[in-house]
Amino acid sequence: MKTRESVIIKFVKDNLRLLQQKDFLDEVYKQKKHDYFYEVRKFVRNPKNSEIAQVAVLYMIRKYLIHTEEELNNLLERPFFENNIYESKILFESLKLKNKNTFMVIDPTKLENLEYREKIENEIKAKILAESQPELLEQKEKFKKEIDDLERQLATIPTKLQKQDYDEPEIAKENLTSLQEWWQQLNLEDDPFPLAEGLKKINDSMYESIIVRTEIFKKYMNFTDNLKQQIFKNTIFYGDFGSGKTAFFDYLTKILLRNRVLSVSVPLWASKDVSVNIFNFENKLLTSLTNESKEYSLILEQDDKNSSIQKIKEILIQLTKQKNFNGLVIFIDDLHKNPKAFDAVLDFLSYLQIFTSEMIEDGLNTAVYVAGIPQWKSKIAMEPRLSGSLIREETMPEIKEEDAYEMLNNRMITFSKNKNKKNIIGRVFVKKIYDDLKQKNMIITFREFLRKALEEFTNGNFDTVLTINPKAIPLDILDEIKKSVLSRPKLSYQIEHLSEITADADVENKQKCFELLGDLHLEHGLYENSPLIERNIWALNQLKRSGLINVFRDLEGIKWLVNRELIEVNNEIVVKYNVSLEDYLVPAFIGNPIYRKKSTKTREYEILEKLAKKTKDETAAKILLQTLEDYKPLLAIEKEHSLNIAPKDLVNQCKKSLNTLTHAFMVLENISIPQDSKEEKIGFWKDFWHNPSPLIEFVNYLENSPDVDMKRANFIFGIYKEAFTELVVFLKNQTEKDKSFSISYDNLTRSDCKVLDLCRELWMDKEYFVMCETIVKYLERKLRSDVYNIFTLLYGDRDNRMKQLDPKINNEINKNIKNDEQKGFALIKNEFQYLNRKDYKILLTSGPPTQPSEIGHGNWENIFKEIFKPWNESRLYNFLDLFGNYNTVTSHNKTESITESQQPDLRQFVTDSMFFLQKFNGSYKKIIDNYIIQDSKLFFNVVKSNPVDQNPVLISSNDFSDFIKKLSNLDEIAIPIQNNKEIEIFYNIEYRKVIMMLAMLLNGNDQMTQKFNARLYLTGVNDLRYSFELNITNKI
């Protein structure tokens, strides 16, 4: 039967640590007291604090927790007892009485005798054990009963743990070493230091937490909040690579939006022709604003005949009217990345002033913010053409030591899964980087601190960076933590019980139990269907049997949680030591965890060394080993505090290293090396589908700085290290992806490569449905545009194109056009947009054998037979049939229809899709190479034979002169051959005519007598500049 005293003693025992605290948590105490005595209100009414204090002291005396009057005095000075014990005499009396009852007669003269001393010690131990044994047994029985009760409760819940025993998982050799990334080992949500430009790889909800508000941030935040007209002044921001310009622009985007100012980003690779820059700017701006209008569900009524500027103004007017926007800020980046085009950049900056002035005159607040480099500043100041073109100039501030410390720790804290614990980067580490940069006379940027922190973390040097390393907790602290956990009797029993039931298990599986407990804590519980639970069902069962976890059921399912007592003691440990249970459980109760052994080599060195050993290509292996040899001296330089090398020699070594690494990549990926780039291979990345920003910056600084001093050389060296790391990681990732399927880069545009690379990622992640959806959507867009282009080049206008279509397709297109007209939609120029997906089979081939199309077969014979060699008609038909089936499944979101069981078919479909894209891209070269002059008339064909249609390309003398005028005085010409709309807008000539004149120019036709000192490239749709993919790089 429960007595008043036993009920109060139970409360005292459960909260003994709380009652004794020097910094007494009054609110916590009140809540615990209320909750407990409300539950036991049938037995005891809510007692006064003085009664609880009295019972608590007597309980501690009785249990030998207080032995002397000094200890009792110390206790009574603690806040809770000092405020609630009014008469202490009885307590001292009780202590004397207790000591008297336990008095033992000891003869001091015999204490030197070892046997006598051991006898006395054993008697004392036996007496203490005898007195505490009943309570220990009572506690154990009580805890065992609680766990048994919990087991019975869990048996009523349909969890996955319905049986007592699960087979212990086998330990594979490759799992003995942790392959986690450094940020996973530190229990961060993601990599807090992505070296991508700006903040684009970071969720924008984190911006406020990670941004360091330097003076320039504060200045523009004040503009947005208090001086809004200051926003709408054209500004150029000078700063070196890594100074924070792009991050500043990314953050401003969010701040401006909060103040109803729209902002768009326009990355612009500068051409030497200012008209190209203006054209690209206006089209990219229009595209961005059109996307924004869709995002805001804007109602637009635009006339296709309007110019790009008129369309831009109309969108801004409607954004103001319908969505209450106050203006537009345009962020322009990347202009500096083509140093050869600086003169054209100056002209373009002048144009921007005219552009914004016109916008403002029309009542549309508009400003351009341009990212520039310090080398521009003096040149722009001396340029009379730019008088007044940029009203304001800003220089990104040099980073202070305190700024860097704040930036690094903002990111670490924001990305931490456990918001109560902080992985703090030490001031000593930050100061060392700062002093080193100063000593080497280097440009100090945030990027240098990010790079150095990332380097140390990647190499496992947590002690170097953090104030406390959660993966190597000092032994004295670990011992104190262990005592804290085991001081809770119930927890002590549960951990002991876990040790008993896993006694025969492998140490790695014991470790998994505590690691899973840490994961459950970090994720605030996990549902049963989570992959982590499914992978660790044995460990979950052991935790359940020990009582260290509880189960909870809600609308989403069954959830497993860490028990409350462990959470409580962990919260105290986090406050005191800044480590959490996911850090200390394994080392405290298992021993040193099994982690990847720390290597003396850098991660980049290890990756290249491993690739050299694994590759079967002897040439690639040889080049990879040479890459390591070129890398070694630069590694040695990195370790030096002062650089004993001439600036030019340092830059040349960096250049040589990146050239060799690029060569290794090209050989491993079977990419042909152009004849004119045998020595200088790093320029390859400017044209490749993947453009690593650090490497592009490296190339630009080489071109901009022919004579470098040590400060500039050190800065270039910093960019080199970043570029080298990014290229090595990219090389490693690409070779891994090649295991799913490789990409043959010939005749693929950049956008093709990006989609195919994404498909490989999805394949590796077993996202087969998403992969299939991605490729079929992309193929459909390409089909509609490329078929339209090819038919336009061969046959001319819509009437002539429609004659080449099966009557069934004709009827379907006309029907869909009529439906759109009735609904009030504008007529689409490309009639193939109205085509049903299944009809491609009778457009490119004769279609199904049961219902062959004569016109479709004619298209095959006249056009597509040549384009898709060596496929035959049946092969192309089967591919298009499968494409149609996959398109139907994905468009209806039938996710269960595409699963892992279809891997071979899916792999073949993606491989065939790559071939299909290559052949369609290559068709343009066939058409250009095979133009025909017959009876003084010009025709296109895919082979040198009679034209497929008697509809010649008619080119006037004005067309010739306009075309030649556009191409004059350029040393580089980029023609986006697949983008008919862009060509027609830029040249103001019909697409078919432009391509015919291009064909005549490339093939040295006598009519094209104008001589050009230019290099000509054809590009794919959406490419930012010229591209090597289509294999047309003819010098004119």
DSSP assignments along 521-550, one per residue? HHTTSEETTSHHHHHTHHHHHHHHHHTSEE
Q: Environment class of residue 138 by beta-carbon count within 10 Å: exposed (0-12), middle (13-18) or buried (19+)?
A: exposed
Q: How far apart are CA 1001 and CA 995, in angstroms?
A: 10
Mean pLDDT of 684-690: 82
Minimum mean pLDDT range among 88-102, 181-195, 656-670, 742-756: 88-102
Question: Quick one: tokens of 53?
Answer: 């204090």
> Containing H/E element for 733?
helix 710-737
Please say whether the beta carbons of 342 and 382 come within 8 A.
Answer: no
Band the pLDDT of 845: cuts 50, 70, 90. very high
- Whether 163 has a pLDDT exceeding 80, the answer reads no
Q: Which residue has the higher pLDDT, 520 or 115?
A: 520
> Helix, strand or coil for residue 617?
coil
Bridge partner residues of 332 (DSSP):
266, 370
Read off φ and ψ for residue 951, nearest 5 degrees: -130, 90
Mean pLDDT of 910-919: 94
Predicted local confidence at residue 826, as pLDDT: 64
- Whether 806 has a pLDDT exceeding 50, the answer reads yes
Q: Which residue has the higher pLDDT, 442 or 111?
A: 442
Predicted local confidence at residue 136, as pLDDT: 52
Share of the chain above pLDDT 90, in %: 17
**If you average pLDDT over every residue of the chain, what do you get?**
81
- Whether 1010 has a pLDDT exceeding 60, the answer reads no
Which residue in this structure is represented by tokens 């050299």?
A: 612
Q: Which residue has the higher pLDDT, 719 or 878?
A: 878
From 606, 621, 700, select the one nearest 655 (Cα to Cα): 700
Mean pLDDT of 554-566: 84
Please say whether the beta carbons of 203 and 191 come within 8 A.
Answer: no
Predicted local confidence at residue 854, as pLDDT: 93
Predicted local confidence at residue 828, as pLDDT: 79
Bridge partner residues of 101 (DSSP):
none
Q: Give the pairing of strands 549-554 and 526-527.
A: unpaired
Q: Which residue has the higher pLDDT, 1035 or 464?
A: 464
C-alpha distances in angstroms, 760 versus 362, 736, 920?
Answer: 49, 10, 21
Please say whether the beta carbons of 611 and 624 come within 8 A.
Answer: yes
> Containing H/E element for 394?
strand 392-395
Read off φ and ψ for residue 242, nearest 5 degrees: 95, 0
- Whether 154 has a pLDDT exceeding 60, the answer reads no
From 772, 770, 774, 735, select the one nearest 754 (Cα to Cα): 774
Predicted local confidence at residue 388, as pLDDT: 53
Read off φ and ψ for residue 555, nearest 5 degrees: -65, -25
Predicted local confidence at residue 147, as pLDDT: 59
Read off φ and ψ for residue 390, nearest 5 degrees: -125, 110
Sheet holding 549-554, edge to edge: 526-527, 557-562, 549-554
Please say whether the beta carbons of 186 and 415 come within 8 A.
Answer: no
C-alpha distances in angstroms, 753 versus 666, 690, 743, 1020?
Answer: 15, 9, 8, 11
C-alpha distances in angstroms, 12 versus 40, 58, 738, 967?
Answer: 14, 11, 65, 90
From 427, 383, 389, 381, select the one nearest 408 (Cα to Cα): 427
Q: If you write DSSP's letter for every residue of 493-518 in order, what string do you get?
A: HHHHHHHHHTTTS-HHHHHHHHHHHH
> Helix, strand or coil for residue 1036?
coil
SS (H, E, C) 754-789: HHHHHHHHHHHCCCHHHHHHHHHHHHHHHHHHHHHH
From 717, 725, 627, select the one nearest 668 (Cα to Cα): 627
Q: Which residue has the higher pLDDT, 31 or 303?
A: 31
3-state helix, strand, coil split of the chain in percent (to 5) is: 60, 5, 35
Q: How many CA atoms lie within 13 A of 593 on its CB side?
A: 22
Band the pLDDT of 868: cuts 50, 70, 90. very high
Query: How far separated are the first and last CA of the chain, in Å rounded?
Result: 105
Q: How far apart are CA 508 and CA 494, in angstroms?
A: 20
Predicted local confidence at residue 842, as pLDDT: 92
Band the pLDDT of 1029: cuts 50, 70, 90. very low
Residue length of the chain: 1036
Rounded to 10 deg, the angle between the 342-361 and 308-323 helix axes is 50
pLDDT tens profile 637-666: 766 655 578 888 888 899 999 999 999 999
* CB within 8 Å of 130: residues ≥ 6 apart: none
pLDDT tens profile 810-838: 898 888 888 877 776 667 788 888 888 88
Band the pLDDT of 116: cuts 50, 70, 90. low
- E-assigned strands of 187-303? 235-238, 262-267
